[in-house]
C-alpha cells in the first residue's frame, strides 16, 4: 500500500471593545463612543506526508509487516522540515506448528502466538512558527515599534519516539481461558523542549531538541468464562500493569524556575 496525505489548517479572528453606550437597549458597536481595544490575527499550519506499508504471511504461521512514512511540517525550518519514520513487526502462530497438532485438535491449547514490533513516530507538537524569530508590534508615542519576542531556532526539528512491544498470547480449552503477557518500551529522543535562558539575554526561554526519556513496563491480562450456557455467558477479566518512567538525559545539569529579588 502506498499513500499521500496533505493537511492544512488556517484560522483568522478579530474582535474589539467599545465603551460608553449612548443608551440601554443598543448593542451595535457604533452606539458606544469610546474605542477600548481592537485586535486580529491569523495562523497557518501545513503537513505533507508520503507513506507506504507491506505485509507478508507464510502458511498462516509466520507474519511480517513493515511501514515507512516521511512527513514535512511547516513548523520547522525548510532545511529541517522533513522527518522519516518507520516500523517493522512480526508474529509467529506457534499453535499452528505440527508438534502442537494433538493439543490443538483436543482444544486444550487453542492459541499460542508470539509477536513483536518496533518502530519510530514523529512529533511536531510545538508552536506554529517555532523556528522563526518573531517580533511584537507596539505603539511608541503614536509611531509603530517592534520588540523581539522570540529567538530564531533554525536547527529545531522533529521529536522521535521509538516504540518496542513484545507479546505472548495464550488460549486454553477452546479459548474459554485466555491471557496475554506483554512487554512495552517507549524511548523519546530529541525532545521538543523549552529551555530556560538567563534573564540578562532578554528572553525567558528558547525551543530546542534536547533530552531523552524512557517509559517501560509489563502488562498482564487473564480472561475466562466460568459459566457458559445456551442463553448466558459470564466473562471475567483481570489485568495488571507495571510502569516506570526514567529520564535518560537532561538539557542541563541544573533545572530551575521562578525568580528571587534581593
- pLDDT per residue, tens digit, the chain (262 aa), is 999 999 999 999 999 999 999 888 888 888 999 999 888 999 999 999 999 999 999 998 999 999 999 999 999 999 999 999 999 999 999 999 999 988 888 888 999 999 999 999 999 999 899 899 999 888 888 888 888 888 999 999 999 999 999 999 999 998 899 999 999 999 999 999 888 888 788 888 888 998 899 999 999 999 999 888 888 889 999 999 999 999 888 766 665 555 554 4
| Cα distance between residue 127 and residue 192, in whole Å | 10
Please tell me the distance from the alpha carbon of residue 141 to that of residue 171, in angstroms, as a whole number: 78
Only one residue has cell 515599534, namely 145
Query: Of 95, 73, 93, which Cα lies nearest the Cα of 84?
Result: 73
Which 8-state DSSP code applies to residue 132? Answer: S
3 state SS for 25-75: CCCCHHHEEEEEEEEEEEEEEEEEEEEEEEEEEECCCEEEEEEEEEEEECC
Beta strands in 128-176 (DSSP E): 134-140, 143-150, 159-172
pTM value? Answer: 0.80
- Partners of residue 150 on adjacent β-strands: 134
Amino acid at each position: 500500500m502506498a499513500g499521500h496525505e496533505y493537511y492544512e489548517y488556517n484560522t483568522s479572528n478579530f474582535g474589539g471593545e467599545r465603551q460608553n453606550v449612548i443608551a440601554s437597549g443598543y448593542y451595535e458597536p457604533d452606539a458606544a463612543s469610546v474605542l477600548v481595544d481592537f485586535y486580529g490575527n491569523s495562523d497557518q499550519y501545513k503537513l505533507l506526508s508520503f507513506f507506504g506499508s507491506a505485509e507478508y504471511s507464510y502458511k498462516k504461521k509466520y507474519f511480517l509487516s513493515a511501514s515507512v512514512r516521511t512527513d514535512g511540517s511547516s513548523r520547522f525550518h525548510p532545511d529541517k522540515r522533513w522527518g522519516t519514520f518507520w516500523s517493522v513487526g512480526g508474529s509467529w502462530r506457534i499453535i499452528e506448528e505440527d508438534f502442537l497438532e494433538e493439543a490443538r485438535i483436543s482444544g486444550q491449547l487453542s492459541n499460542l502466538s508470539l509477536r513483536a514490533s518496533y518502530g519510530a513516530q514523529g512529533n511536531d507538537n510545538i508552536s506554529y512558527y517555532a523556528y522563526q524569530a518573531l517580533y511584537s508590534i507596539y505603539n511608541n508615542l503614536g509611531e509603530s515599534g517592534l520588540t523581539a519576542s522570540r529567538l530564531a531556532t533554525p536547527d529545531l526539528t522533529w521529536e522521535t519516539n521509538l516504540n518496542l512491544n513484545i507479546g505472548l498470547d495464550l488460549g486454553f480449552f477452546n479459548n474459554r481461558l485466555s491471557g496475554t503477557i506483554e512487554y512495552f518500551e517507549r524511548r523519546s529522543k530529541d525532545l521538543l523542549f523549552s529551555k530556560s535562558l538567563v534573564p540578562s539575554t532578554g528572553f525567558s526561554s528558547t525551543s530546542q531538541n534536547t533530552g531523552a526519556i524512557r517509559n517501560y513496563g509489563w502488562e498482564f491480562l487473564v480472561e475466562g468464562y466460568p459459566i457458559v450456557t445456551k442463553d448466558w455467558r459470564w466473562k471475567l477479566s483481570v489485568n495488571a500493569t507495571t510502569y516506570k518512567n526514567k529520564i535518560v538525559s537532561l538539557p542541563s545539569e541544573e533545572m530551575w524556575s521562578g525568580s528571587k529579588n534581593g
